[in-house]
Chains A and B, each alone.
Chain A
Amino acid sequence: MRFLSVVARYFIWHYGQALIQFSRIYWRLTFFLFNFFSVPVLVRSLFAPWRRLGEAYPTAGIDLVAIASTFIVNVIMRLVGVILRTIMIAFGSTATLIFALLYPVIFLIWLLLPAGIILLVLLGVGLLFV
């Protein structure tokens, strides 16, 4: 009796509460993936110099060569930053997108899982004994 009561409660959960819980976890993982690749932070600092590397502009006098050299170094550092960040943002966004698109598939698998188990048992018995 105990066992049957638990089985009944299981099915109520599987097609009720579990769907909400499943969705909640799924979107939490999606959000985690997005943050794992630091996408928001990288977008915010897209044009910042790579690792804050750069040179300070000369403060005394006007040395055009020095100013130009500093400017070029700083632009290169920013460019390096933009390139690397863009690559990481692309990776992160793609991974997140793929994971998000898989949601309906996994949701469907969840719905069909009890039936799938019965099918697997029938198939197994069939293959073994028939």
Chain B
Amino acid sequence: MKIKQLLKNSPLYPILIIESFLSSRRRRWLINASAAAVGGLLVLATFFHFVRLTEFAPKIWGLVSLSLAFYLTAKMIEWYFNASYYFDNVALNRYHPGDLFTFTVGRVLLATAREDVVQGFLTSDVGARVMARLGLTSSACKDFLRLRPASGAWPKLPIGPEPVLRLRELVKFLYRNDSAWAAWLAEREITEVQLIGAVNWVVREIEYQEYRKRWWSETSLSRWPSLARDWGFGTTAILDQYSWDLLFGLEFSSNLYEFSSRLDEVNQVENILAKEREANVFVIADAAGERLDVIWHLVRRIKDGQVEPALEFKRPVLFNSAVFLAHFKDKSTLELEFLKILKEAAAAGNIILVFDNFITLLQGFEVMRSSLLDLLYPYLSSRSVQIVGLADNDGFHRHLENNSSLMALFDRIFIRPLPRESLVFNLEQTVWTIEKKHHLFFTYPALLAVVDGAGRYFPGSGAGDKAIDLLTEIIPWAKKRRLRIIDVSAVETLISDKAGVPVGRINPAEREKLLNLEQSLATRIVGQREAISQLAGALRRARTGVRNDKRPVGAFLFLGPTGVGKTETAKALAEVMFAGEKNLLRLDLAEYQTADALDRLIGSDLGQPGALARLVREQPYGVLLLDEFEKAAPDVHDLCLTIFDEGYFTDREGRRVDLRNLVIIASSNAGADLIWRRARAGEGKKITVDELTNHLVTQAIFKPELLNRFDAMVVYKPLNAEELKQIARLLLGRLAKRLQDQNLRLVITDYLAAAVAKFGANELFGARPMQRFIQDRIEQVVADGLVAGVLRAGATIAFEPNEQTGEPELSSSEK
């Protein structure tokens, strides 16, 4: 069937025609303009009447009549549109099967020429809104339409009697059948999921705007606060000092719609509070925003009059525990005031008392040697006041759960963390508010970047709260930069600035860094070409997104004898990839061999914070070096299994510690003897990773499942004399640089490097003692020379071999 025919067959046809001739904005303008004309002309007629200019009166009244006729006609068109649009539930996205398609699809079809629906979509107002949400301008869309290859015959549109075709299905159909359009979108990094997400967002926005226009609906009318509704209830003067009436405000993060992912919890809270007796509940979640969100839903229902009869006219108040506690210094006044509040709330008869942080209040009373629960008990079983306690998981389990008499009077609702799609849905609504208030415009991919970035780079509880925090931070950030459109790159820049890690697309400087990672590392690490190239490859995979997001950036086991560059590699990596050695987190696992090792790492039940938990919370990005990995207790190895698998662990307080933004390097000397022996046997006998793995497993040093969790096992070979000489040169180079700052020039000769390698390094500790040798035999000599006045600023320092020992000594010319 031709599109024109389809349109004519739909009951939506008349309103589609009206909308195409006169959009709702134009209609509104016409109504306002004609009303203003009627008013203005009436004033003019009155004025002429008083100044007795009667000859103009008929003309003015003629104009009044015509303007009034015009106004009434415009109003009638609007009423007709509204009647068809709203009464038939089009605005609520509820259609009759005979409608064939939704109103938004109708608008696309109406804009369609020559049966080209993609063109219709891109030129329709709703399509332009979707494209704008994807960051694509109308001129870019026009260019695409102008330049695209001619499309062949289209398959039949999926329009049947049932179900009604919705915009997201139409767009999906178009995307899958127009490869040129799909390719054009793919070039702009827009996926099908993002496209459909943007469509849903735009449709929901239209629905929301229409919903607000329906002032005559029962829900809208019931939102008007009725007069005298609280005359039957008491006043709460004391309680009001420490609390906030939730009916008088809608919190920023609260959702405009009710949505399915929180409905269960809200229904449960509502049912509990509607009980005849013991209508008290603990709402438990780690993020304050998540706990409050449920309460906000309930408040909205009470305000809308869409609540159980028992909760009608109820007044939920949020009791600010911290403010209350701050007012009192002694037990008796604290208890007295609290009892007054409870008495007042009970006497008022319509109070739902919400304690914003129940545990804080409980502990505050304990500090004063009082018992909150003893004061509350008489009210918990009464029907005069309902009590809601908000608490975090840890606090609830520690302080409340074991109190069986309290638990008998309270129900509990544990709030689940929201899945990603619900977070996006939540944020979509918050963005409307921000956009309206601050004249900003967010693209849909930017919104996704906020949700993903908040979860990934600002770990901890309450991803929803963090995403909203990030959104609110964007506002001043964007205003400072005079940005009006917030796209992915803006969000990524903000996250990069805030978190100090590269996020998003690889910029040219970073690309250079990644491509030259081997060379950059090789300037500091000598003789470990294979190890470095393995590591660099893994890191490139990580940065380009070809990795599992739910694991650390990389987990590597560095094996080899002491002093061959394992630690130096970790330092170099932190320097190159994370802008400085300050981003190297180091834990010596040799200190964690005892039975209490795990407690010391993740925190103990006695409340001692764990070293690893603290370290990672303070610095969640960078390189984590676990030195002497083989020496750690088996419990610690088991913890690492979880970390390498999941990217996080849970500390003793039940909080998640996120290690997904770390490169984890475990270094170990295990198997060093074998590596040595095989290295000495010659180039052809070099040890392989498989052989080393077998050795480590048979010696029961590591469990096979632990070794399997590493992204790579990197074997460091012992250094030969030439490599040690190169390291000596590197170390001497660093010393020379320091001396240069004091205007002294150190001459690094071939002899000096060879001498440092020969006398500084040894078989057991590799290159490590060289630093000490340089310190004792070079730096010290120079320092002594400076003190004695033998060396002065501008001097050139050279070393020559001692005639007997061959060790370096200050050149005779300098003495």
- State which of B18, B84, B216, B234 has its C-beta within 8 Å of the C-beta of A25: B216
Contact check, B347 vs A52: say whether CB atoms are below 8 A apart: yes
- Interface residues in B, total, Cβ within 8 A: 40
Contact check, B83 vs A121: say whether CB atoms are below 8 A apart: no
Known contacts A13-B80, A38-B229, A52-B347; decide if A126 and B62 are in contact (CB<8 Å). Answer: yes
A53 CA to B66 CA, complexed, in Å: 60
Q: Which of B350-396 touch A at CB < 8 Å? A: none
**What A residues does B234 contact at CB under 8 A?**
51-53
The residue of chain A having its C-beta at the shortest distance from the C-beta of B230 within the complex is A51
Q: Which of A82-114 touch B at CB < 8 Å? A: 84-85, 88, 92, 113-114
A29 CA to B227 CA, complexed, in Å: 16
**What A residues does B233 contact at CB under 8 A?**
51-52
- State which of A41, A52, A125 has its C-beta within 8 Å of the C-beta of B66: A125
Contact check, A124 vs B65: say whether CB atoms are below 8 A apart: yes
- State which of A21, A29, A113, A125 has its C-beta within 8 Å of the C-beta of B72: A113
Question: Does B183 sit within 8 A of A, measured CB to CB?
Answer: no
Kindly name the residue among B18, B216, B347 whose own CB sees the greatest number of chain A CB atoms within 10 A: B216
Question: Does B158 sit within 8 A of A, measured CB to CB?
Answer: no
A114 CA to B80 CA, complexed, in Å: 13
Question: Does B241 sit within 8 A of A, measured CB to CB?
Answer: no
A21 CA to B82 CA, complexed, in Å: 11
Question: Does B609 sit within 8 A of A, measured CB to CB?
Answer: no
**What B residues does A9 contact at CB under 8 A?**
14
Secondary structure at the B interface, as helix, strand, loop or mixed, is helix
A81 CA to B231 CA, complexed, in Å: 8
Contact check, B73 vs A32: say whether CB atoms are below 8 A apart: no
Stretch at the interface among B24-32, B218-226, B264-272: B218-226
**What B residues does A124 contact at CB under 8 A?**
62-66, 69
The residue of chain B having its C-beta at the shortest distance from the C-beta of A18 within the complex is B83
A126 CA to B66 CA, complexed, in Å: 10
Known contacts A6-B14, A13-B84, A38-B228; decide if A28 and B72 are in contact (CB<8 Å). Answer: no
Contact check, B65 vs A123: say whether CB atoms are below 8 A apart: yes
**What A residues does B349 contact at CB under 8 A?**
52
The residue of chain A having its C-beta at the shortest distance from the C-beta of B61 within the complex is A127
**What B residues does A13 contact at CB under 8 A?**
80, 83-84
Contact check, A21 vs B63: say whether CB atoms are below 8 A apart: no
Contact check, B226 vs A121: say whether CB atoms are below 8 A apart: no
Contact with B along A34-52 (1 / 0, CB 8 A): 0111100110010010111
Question: Does B542 sit within 8 A of A, measured CB to CB?
Answer: no
Question: Does B59 sit within 8 A of A, measured CB to CB?
Answer: yes
**What B residues does A17 contact at CB under 8 A?**
83, 87
Question: Does B76 sit within 8 A of A, measured CB to CB?
Answer: yes
Contact check, A88 vs B17: say whether CB atoms are below 8 A apart: no
**What A residues does B68 contact at CB under 8 A?**
120
**What A residues does B347 contact at CB under 8 A?**
52
**What B residues does A21 contact at CB under 8 A?**
83, 87
- Interface residues in A, total, Cβ within 8 A: 45
**What B residues does A92 contact at CB under 8 A?**
227
Contact check, A128 vs B63: say whether CB atoms are below 8 A apart: yes
A55 CA to B227 CA, complexed, in Å: 26
A35 CA to B18 CA, complexed, in Å: 36
The residue of chain B having its C-beta at the shortest distance from the C-beta of A37 within the complex is B227
Q: Which of B229-253 touch A at CB < 8 Å? A: 229, 231-235
Q: Which of B69-86 touch A at CB < 8 Å? A: 69, 72-73, 76, 79-80, 83-84
**What A residues does B61 contact at CB under 8 A?**
127
A75 CB → nearest B CB, Å? 18
Question: Does A58 sit within 8 A of B, measured CB to CB?
Answer: no
Question: Does A57 sit within 8 A of B, measured CB to CB?
Answer: no
Contact check, A52 vs B221: say whether CB atoms are below 8 A apart: no
Known contacts A9-B14, A32-B221; decide if A127 and B62 are in contact (CB<8 Å). Answer: yes
The residue of chain A having its C-beta at the shortest distance from the C-beta of B86 within the complex is A21
B57 CB → nearest A CB, Å? 9
Contact check, B216 vs A28: say whether CB atoms are below 8 A apart: yes
A37 CA to B59 CA, complexed, in Å: 45
Known contacts A10-B14, A48-B232; decide if A121 and B66 are in contact (CB<8 Å). Answer: yes
Known contacts A10-B14, A35-B226, A37-B228; decide if A128 and B83 are in contact (CB<8 Å). Answer: no
Question: Does B475 sit within 8 A of A, measured CB to CB?
Answer: no
The residue of chain B having its C-beta at the shortest distance from the C-beta of A114 within the complex is B76
Question: Does A117 sit within 8 A of B, measured CB to CB?
Answer: yes
Contact with B along A1-39 (1 / 0, CB 8 A): 011011001100110011001000100110010011110
Question: Does B348 sit within 8 A of A, measured CB to CB?
Answer: yes
A13 CA to B13 CA, complexed, in Å: 14
- State which of B21, B58, B80, B224 has its C-beta within 8 Å of the C-beta of A127: B58
Contact with A along B191-223 (1 / 0, CB 8 A): 000000000000000000000000010100100
A19 CA to B73 CA, complexed, in Å: 18
A113 CB → nearest B CB, Å? 7
A127 CA to B67 CA, complexed, in Å: 13
A42 CB → nearest B CB, Å? 6
The residue of chain A having its C-beta at the shortest distance from the C-beta of B79 within the complex is A18
Contact check, B221 vs A41: say whether CB atoms are below 8 A apart: no
Contact check, B231 vs A116: say whether CB atoms are below 8 A apart: no
Contact check, A38 vs B84: say whether CB atoms are below 8 A apart: no
- State which of B76, B83, B228 has its C-beta within 8 Å of the C-beta of A88: B228
- State which of A6, A42, A114 has its C-beta within 8 Å of the C-beta of B228: A42
The list of the 3 closest CB pairs from A to B, nearest first, reads A127-B62, A124-B65, A124-B66
Q: A5-B14, A37-B226, A84-B228 are in contact. List 13 more A-B contacts (CB 8 A).
A: A2-B17, A3-B17, A6-B18, A18-B80, A35-B226, A36-B224, A36-B226, A42-B232, A45-B232, A48-B232, A116-B72, A120-B68, A128-B58
25 contacts between A and B (CB under 8 A): A5-B17, A13-B84, A17-B83, A21-B83, A32-B224, A37-B227, A37-B228, A38-B226, A38-B231, A41-B232, A41-B313, A42-B232, A51-B234, A51-B235, A52-B347, A52-B349, A81-B231, A85-B231, A92-B227, A113-B72, A117-B76, A123-B62, A126-B62, A128-B59, A128-B62
